[in-house]
Structure 1
Amino acid sequence: MSKQPDTTRRAIVGATVGVGLGIGTLSILVPFASLNPKKEVTPETEPPKEGDLFVFAEGDKKGQEITFDDLPLGGPPALAYPKDPKTGVVKSGERNNLVLLIRLNSGDLSPEAAQYAADGTVVYSAICTHLGCTVSEWVPDKGELLCPCHKGIYDPRDGAKVVGGPPPRPLPALPIRAEAGKPVVAGGFTSPVGVVAGLEPQGGSCAV
């Protein structure tokens, strides 16, 4: 008796199983790929770029361009968004664009902080590196930045390095230069903004 039909049946079954496994693999890959959809970049969401100005993100002066004279020497910081001077678009559509501007004595800045500063003013991301909350509080007696969620503390005089609490790394700096009495973006953030995969704590996220 010929064994050809048997062999053929095994080949068909094997091929069917193979196709089934392939589809199963795809069904696993597709959901994972869809977990991180690419964001569409618009003028309101593009990251800060060289030449951008800054506007107040809150308060009575919300939307107004920031000058060095608007920033009190020694703090507190101002929450701000970058603004494209050519189009007038404020880049407030992306939370990671929120920054802190603090004007300090130039002599108090560490070499690391000074290389990104202008007129004693430093600019840092306002997104905490711990769980992504907004670093919105100021400790006046120590001149430190405070995240209200889990009490992460950063020193703006020394590159926003962590001096207290759970954040795993400093706040990214945004280099600036001075033009016509205003701070102007001179480059991109010095490191990734917010929570970085592999460095974030376990147990959830926070954004305020």
Structure 2
Amino acid sequence: MSKKTDTTRRAIVGATIGVGLGIGSLSLLAPVISLRPKKEETPETEPPKEGDVFTFAVGDNAGKEITFDDLPLEGPAVLAFPKDPKTGVIKSGEKTNLVLLIRLKPDELSEKVRQYAADGTVAYSAICTHLGCTVGEWDAAKGLLLCPCHKGFFDPRNGAEVVAGPPPRPLPTLPIRAEGNKPVVAGGFTSPPGVLAGTEAAGGSCAV
């Protein structure tokens, strides 16, 4: 066997071993990747879906189903969780399921909001798009939803658009419809609720 032939043979064998080791490494890595914890969806953490009703999220009436009569005209908003009417499960196991229900005069709503509203009542994500606080306050004088952490103001009559403060985007809208005297979910959020990666504004963390 010539020296050139022997060198070529060694190169081929070396490359084959290298490929084999590479495949072996990948096969060893696969079970490691599969062991990474995955966020499992449960009935309590499932996002709002069409047909869900709403329940009070806080207060003495927590867990009670909400009717239009429970929503004061012109605010304040009511914090709510969706509930699967078939199983009776309240979807309170996921923070981003928290919703604001607010009843306004239908003729005050912008055209883009009316398509998602039910007789003047609109539903928005209650999680601030800035740093994830709960938008739980109402500025009656201005008619605006308020996040108390860093003073983010949202206009509920115009798609919860940001009118002041650091939030980078509006609160997502949750389409609703009327069934009898109850607001009912008519579809999923118009955009992902909560804080989106890459849109966080600088400034400390929010306490919820």
Residue 146 of structure 2 aligns to a residue whose secondary structure is strand
Partner of 2:129: 129
Q: Distance in 2 between matches of 1:112 and 1:202?
A: 31
Deviations along 1:168-202, whole A, 9 cap, x unmatched? 21111111111221111111111111222343336
Q: Distance in 1 between matches of 2:109 and 2:100?
A: 16
Q: Distance in 2 between matches of 1:34 and 1:164?
A: 44
Q: Distance in 2 between matches of 1:201 and 1:24?
A: 40
Cα 1:169–1:183, aligned 2, differ >3 Å: closer, same or farther?
A: same
Q: Distance in 1 between matches of 2:137 and 2:27?
A: 47
Partner of 1:149: 149
Partner of 1:74: 74
Alignment of 1:1-208 (within 5 A): 2-3=2-3, 4-18=5-19, 38-201=38-201, 206=206, 208=208
- TM-score normalised over the length of structure 2: 0.85
> Percent identity over the alignment?
66
Amino acid at match of 1:56: F
Deviations along 1:89-128, whole A, 9 cap, x unmatched? 1011111111001111222111112221112111000111
Residue 62 of structure 1 aligns to a residue whose secondary structure is coil
- TM-score normalised over the length of structure 1: 0.85
Q: Distance in 2 between matches of 1:148 and 1:97?
A: 19
Q: Which runs of 5+ in 2 are unaligned?
A: none
Q: Distance in 2 between matches of 1:24 and 1:202?
A: 40
Cα 1:105–1:34, aligned 2, differ >3 Å: closer, same or farther?
A: farther
Q: Distance in 2 between matches of 1:95 and 1:176?
A: 19
**Offset of residue 66 of structure 1:** 0.7
**Offset of residue 25 of structure 1:** 7.4
Residue 172 of structure 1 aligns to a residue whose secondary structure is coil
Deviations along 1:133-158, whole A, 9 cap, x unmatched? 22122212111111122222111011
Count residues in correspondence. 207
Q: Which runs of 5+ in 1 are unaligned?
A: none
Q: Distance in 2 between matches of 1:195 and 1:100?
A: 17
Q: Distance in 2 between matches of 1:25 and 1:167?
A: 42
CA contact (8 A) 1:131 1:207 kept: no
CA contact (8 A) 1:159 1:173 kept: yes
